[in-house]
């Protein structure tokens, strides 16, 4: 039997589906058959829930035919067909049908599962304007007298305030509303979300006019974001009467404001869309945003009206069911080129504005920055240049200094010189080796006597000497030291504490991860912001191996000898681990599952906008091993460095590690529970 790790339901995902069947007006037998066909197809693909269209059993455009007994009886027969079929369909089904209750006619959504009618939801708001005349045929849901009805021989709950909870799928609780219900100022689904529904469903007909499809996107996106929920939306398609209206069959699935799937519109045949909804993410967002809980208390009386119907689903848990969802390899970096350019521009402006404010408020006009010829200091230098431009100060107010040591490569030294030249800062060069040797003599380190002892002390002496020079230069020039260390290094503790690269007066890179900095520098280069020749220098920086350059190597090829990623793992993986750990608090086993979906070779070429920067594919054993490195360093060994970091601006919703911002944690915690959970990840 396949390991349960490889099944999406083991990680609090649920596969949901929106179905748009081709219909015939006033032909319940045909419509029921199409419904069953799509339901079987969705269930065979592992769906837990299938939502159909408004009045799909009858068709929406029956007008006064809705008051004909033959049609209403035919709809009951069609519903019986779907109910019978549901006994062998593992998914819950939501179908639209007109129903007679208490001598009134209601536009209803009927929820079915395993041969059982779980409940009936009447439409709350009836449009009676423009092309709509629903109040002519139907009554609104709050006009019903009964809270329970007998339908096809079953006694079932009836009402708009119903929640449906799958007992064997944690966090899977859904609510149904119908078309116009989501167009009103306070949709019923808003209260349903506060009452605990993580998945909101809308059975809609919704005729199409110019611009309406875009508005539906806005409507559904905002409702899913505001309610911290998934939202499934259907609209009627081919087969509805075109006497006075037209139909496009739009189907949408959103999660917390993000579009997961959309159907192609104007299809001739019945069609389905699927999406794997992250229920844990929705739950954690509600837990994190405490105002959600405040809203629950404020509307407590309204929420008390809700009744919960519990049921079990027969889902394919005993087989591998991979995630059918785009998981970005670079969660801090948009994969879409246009969005990526916009993101890079915004990141720059956030960092520049923050530095401008710090300089303006302090009355300081100069900055001091160490330039290594690597990614982080390159990006920080570019931010400083823009800040000086914004302040109408000369770029010579940037005191740039490169400080070659025992392991500085010819490549990075040349790049540092070239960077300072084209930026136009006040450039200088300080050889730190004499002061480092003096320090090692003072403390009795064997290297001062000629021994090749390249230990942590040897490395930190160099990092400390560089920082010491920067602070004294800042004193001398009446400036402040600009930090260059990034979010990824802080997460992994890859910095020298105190008098080292850990410290500065202000760190513009504090919440920018390494993968995003790489894209930022590449973006500046490719957009030719400093000219073609200078862009070549920036691209050379991007393509240089990441290294602290503190331990000498034996090769004489001009490249860095000490490779950071050989010690702490690939930044592209560790940034992935950081994002899902910091932003959502996911367990390591889920982070590994997501990484496997994003980085396994089955996704090769699937996301071309990411492929050009992805150096590797990663097998599950590599994902597990590097996640283990991350967990030990992040949770157990590095927090003391994060408890006292310099000021720096938060840049992205992915979070920062400042104790004054997103992350407060004890410096002496253990990593045991995270490492224990990691054991649930198979090696292959």
Annotated binding site: 129, 206, 212, 370-377, 460, 484, 489, 494-497, 641
- Alpha-carbon distance 51 to 590, whole Å? 27
Q: Specify whether 123 is catalytic.
A: yes
Which residues belong to the annotated binding site for deamido-NAD(+)? 460, 489, 494-497, 641
- Alpha-carbon distance 84 to 76, whole Å? 12
Q: Specify whether 365 is catalytic.
A: no
- Alpha-carbon distance 566 to 570, whole Å? 8
Ramachandran angles phi, psi of 425, nearest 5° = -85, 170
At how many degrees (to 10) do helices 375-390 and 410-423 cross?
10
- The DSSP H or E segment spanning 345 is helix 337-362
Contact 655, 662 (CB under 8 A): yes
Q: Which two tokens stand for residue 68?
A: 């004909």
Contact 502, 510 (CB under 8 A): no
What is the full DSSP assignment across 561-621?
Answer: SS-THHHH--HHHHHHHHHHHHTT---HHHHHHHHHHHHSGGGTTT-HHHHTT------HH
- Alpha-carbon distance 347 to 512, whole Å? 9
Virtual torsion, Cα 105, 107, 112, 117, nearest 10 deg: -20
Which residues belong to the annotated binding site for ATP? 370-377, 484
Q: How many CB atoms lie within 10 A of CB 449?
A: 10
- Alpha-carbon distance 148 to 118, whole Å? 11
Q: Which two tokens stand for residue 94?
A: 């939501």
The single residue of 75, 123, 173, 227 carrying the catalytic annotation is 123
- Alpha-carbon distance 478 to 463, whole Å? 22
Q: Which two tokens stand for residue 558?
A: 């001009």
Q: What one-character DSSP code corresponds to residue 403? A: -
Residue 458 Cα distances to 92, 126, 406, 437, 559, angstroms: 64, 76, 10, 10, 20
Q: Which residues contact 245 (CB under 8 A, 6 or more apart)?
A: 61, 131, 207, 208
Q: Dump strand ranges (E) for 21-127.
A: 49-51, 92-101, 104-113, 116-122
Q: Which residues contact 215 (CB under 8 A, 6 or more apart)?
A: none
Which residues belong to the annotated binding site for L-glutamine? 129, 206, 212
Q: Which two tokens stand for residue 202?
A: 């809308």
The single residue of 23, 179, 344, 436 carrying the catalytic annotation is 179
Q: Specify whether 54 is catalytic.
A: yes
Angle 225-19-27 from CA coordinates, rounded to 5°: 135
Closest Cα partner for 473 from 402, 405, 414, 424? 402
Contact 166, 173 (CB under 8 A): yes
Closest Cα partner for 96 from 126, 57, 123? 57
Q: Which residues contact 414 (CB under 8 A, 6 or more apart)?
A: 373
The single residue of 34, 54, 255, 280 carrying the catalytic annotation is 54
Closest Cα partner for 286 from 327, 219, 226? 226
Closest Cα partner for 187 from 153, 217, 219, 145? 219
Contact 216, 206 (CB under 8 A): yes
Q: How many CB atoms lie within 10 A of CB 211?
A: 8
At how many degrees (to 10) do helices 514-526 and 532-542 cross?
160
Angle 406-407-412 from CA coordinates, rounded to 5°: 125
Ramachandran angles phi, psi of 400, nearest 5° = -95, 135
- Alpha-carbon distance 102 to 145, whole Å? 7
- The DSSP H or E segment spanning 642 is helix 639-642
Catalytic residues: 54, 123, 179
């Amino acid at each position: 039997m396949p390991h349960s790790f490889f099944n999406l339901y083991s990680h609090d995902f649920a596969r949901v589906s929106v179905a748009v069947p081709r219909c015939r007006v006033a032909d319940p037998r045909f419509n029921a058959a199409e419904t069953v066909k799509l339901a079987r197809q969705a269930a065979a693909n592992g769906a837990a829930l299938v939502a159909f269209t408004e009045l799909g059993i009858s068709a929406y455009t029956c007008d006064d035919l809705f008051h004909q007994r033959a049609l209403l009886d035919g709809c009951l027969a069609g519903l019986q067909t779907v109910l019978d079929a549901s006994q062998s369909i593992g998914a819950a089904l939501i179908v639209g049908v007109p129903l007679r209750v208490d001598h009134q006619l209601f536009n209803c959504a009927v929820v079915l599962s395993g041969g059982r009618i779980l409940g009936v939801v009447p439409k709350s708001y009836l449009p009676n304007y423009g092309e709509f005349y629903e109040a002519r045929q139907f009554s609104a849901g709050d006009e019903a007298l009964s809270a329970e009805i007998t339908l096809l021989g079953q006694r079932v709950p009836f009402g708009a305030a119903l929640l449906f909870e799958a007992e064997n799928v944690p966090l899977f609780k859904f609510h149904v509303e119908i078309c116009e219900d989501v167009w009103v100022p306070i949709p019923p689904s808003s209260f349903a979300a506060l009452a605990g529904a993580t998945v909101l469903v809308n059975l809609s007909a919704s005729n199409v006019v110019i611009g309406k499809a875009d508005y539906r996107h806005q409507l559904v996106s905002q409702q899913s974001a505001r309610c911290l929920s998934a939202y499934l939306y259907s609209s009627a398609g081919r087969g509805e009467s075109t006497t006075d209206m037209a139909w496009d069959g739009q189907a949408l699935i959103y999660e917390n404001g993000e579009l997961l799937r959309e159907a192609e519109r104007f299809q001739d045949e019945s069609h389905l869309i699927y999406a794997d909804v992250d229920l844990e993410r929705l739950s954690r967002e509600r837990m994190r945003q405490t105002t959600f809980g405040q809203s629950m208390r404020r509307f407590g009386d309204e929420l008390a009206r809700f009744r919960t119907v519990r049921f079990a689903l027969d889902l394919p848990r005993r087989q591998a069911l991979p995630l059918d969802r785009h998981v970005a390899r670079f969660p801090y970096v948009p994969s879409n080129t246009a969005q990526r350019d916009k993101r890079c521009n915004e990141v720059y402006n956030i960092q520049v504005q923050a530095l401008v404010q710090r300089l303006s408020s302090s009355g300081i006009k100069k900055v001091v920055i160490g330039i290594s010829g690597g990614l982080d200091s390159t990006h920080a230098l570019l931010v400083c240049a823009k800040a000086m431009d914004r302040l109408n100060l000369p770029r010579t107010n940037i005191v740039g200094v490169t400080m070659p040591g025992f392991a500085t490569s010819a490549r990075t030294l040349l790049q540092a010189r070239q960077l300072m030249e084209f930026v136009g800062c006040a450039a200088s060069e300080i050889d730190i080796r004499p002061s480092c040797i003096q320090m090692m003599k003072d403390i009795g380190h064997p290297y001062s006597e000629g021994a090749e002892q390249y230990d942590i002390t040897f490395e930190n002496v160099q990092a400390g000497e560089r920082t010491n020079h920067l602070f004294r230069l800042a004193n001398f020039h009446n400036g402040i030291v600009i930090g260059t260390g990034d979010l990824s290094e802080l997460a992994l503790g890859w910095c020298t504490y105190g008098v080292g690269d850990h410290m500065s007066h202000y760190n513009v890179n504090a919440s920018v991860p390494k993968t995003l900095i790489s894209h930022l520098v590449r973006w500046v280069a490719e957009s030719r912001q400093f000219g073609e020749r200078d862009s070549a220098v920036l691209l050379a920086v991007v393509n240089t191996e990441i290294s602290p350059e503190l331990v000498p190597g034996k090769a004489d090829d001009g490249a860095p000898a000490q490779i950071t990623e050989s010690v702490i793992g690939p930044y592209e993986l560790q940034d992935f681990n950081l994002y899902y750990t910091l932003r959502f608090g996911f367990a390591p086993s889920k982070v590994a599952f997501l990484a496997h979906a994003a980085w396994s070779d089955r996704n090769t070429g699937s996301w071309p906008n990411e492929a050009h920067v992805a150096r590797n594919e990663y097998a599950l054993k590599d994902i597990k091993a590097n996640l283990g490195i991350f967990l030990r360093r992040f949770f157990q060994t590095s927090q003391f460095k994060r408890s006292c970091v310099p000021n720096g601006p938060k840049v992205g919703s992915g979070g920062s590690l400042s104790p004054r911002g997103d992350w407060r944690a004890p410096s002496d915690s253990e990593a045991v529970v995270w490492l224990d959970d990691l054991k649930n990840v198979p090696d292959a």
